[in-house]
Amino acid sequence: MSLYMRQVWAVVWKDALLELRTRERLVAMGAFAVLAAVLFNYSIDTAVVRPQDVAAGLVWMTIVFGGLLGIGRTFHLEAQDDALQGVLTSPAPKDAVFLGKAFANFVLLYLVSLLVLGVFTLFFGLDLGSNLGGLTLSLGLGALGFVSLGTLFSAVTAGTRMGETLLPILVFPLLVPVVIYGVGATSRLLASRPLSEVAGSLRMLAAFAVASLAVGAVLFRFVVED
């Protein structure tokens, strides 16, 4: 493994370990996901609307709102003893630090996304059928695009007084492509349409994820340098 990859891995390892110790973000995001699914379940008049028809949009809304609860606190533990400064004065390139933090966030958000899908399947009686692979792929690609932007803007707002209010205002407009293509792919897959029918949406999600990751890696140094 190259030094660069070891530095990326060091950040992933450290963030994963901190999350396992504190469970601060996972519990908040998981609890939000379950509660949101319960509330959505009671908010739909099943005599008028079939839950399966609106499930995809609700799944993605729950992921976006719940995800931001956790992603917004990406730099919370770094601030405790000015630890981010310690990381930034190391030889690890800033983009390696960004990629490490984004990947750690991805693992977290992907787990929560799978939990959301599971909970909605339970409450809304969804039939995942033969499209489970496609569904998990669409969630994964969407989560990657989300965390790339979320991690970058979490760094932007970390040092600001109104950070937690500012973050959704900055991030939500940029997440529109993720929601459009994510909902598009998920709703068709939940309706048991073939994977080939959502290939375009999946490609768009992948392109958005790669572009967001690249932009985040390039811009991160300008955000954290004093």
- Footprint of other proteins (CB under 8 A): 3, 6-7, 9-11, 13-14, 17-18, 21-22, 77, 80-83, 85-93, 225-226
Phi, psi of 152 (to 5 degrees): -60, -50
Pick 100 or 184: Cβ nearer other proteins? 100
Pick 86 or 125: Cβ nearer other proteins? 86
User: Cα 85 to chain center, whole Å?
Assistant: 25
Cβ(191)–Cβ(53) below 8 Å: no
> CB of 21: closest distance to other proteins in angstroms?
4
> CB of 213: closest distance to other proteins in angstroms?
20
Pick 15 or 123: Cβ nearer other proteins? 15
Pick 104 or 183: Cβ nearer other proteins? 104
Distance CA 166, CA 71 (A): 13
Pick 80 or 196: Cβ nearer other proteins? 80
Count other Cβ atoms within 10 Å, centred on residue 83: 14
Pick 21 or 161: Cβ nearer other proteins? 21
> CB of 150: closest distance to other proteins in angstroms?
21
Q: In Å, what is the CA distance from 160 to each residue of 94, 115, 166, 203? A: 20, 31, 9, 35
Q: What is the DSSP string of 45-63?
A: -TTTS-HHHHHHHHHHHHH
214-1-26-119 Cα dihedral, nearest 10 degrees: 80
Distance in Å from the first CA to the final CA of the chain: 31
> CB of 175: closest distance to other proteins in angstroms?
30
> CB of 159: closest distance to other proteins in angstroms?
14
**Of 90, 94, 72, 86, nearest to 225 (Cα)?**
94
Burial of 135 (0-12, 13-18, 19+ CB in 10 A): buried
> CB of 108: closest distance to other proteins in angstroms?
16
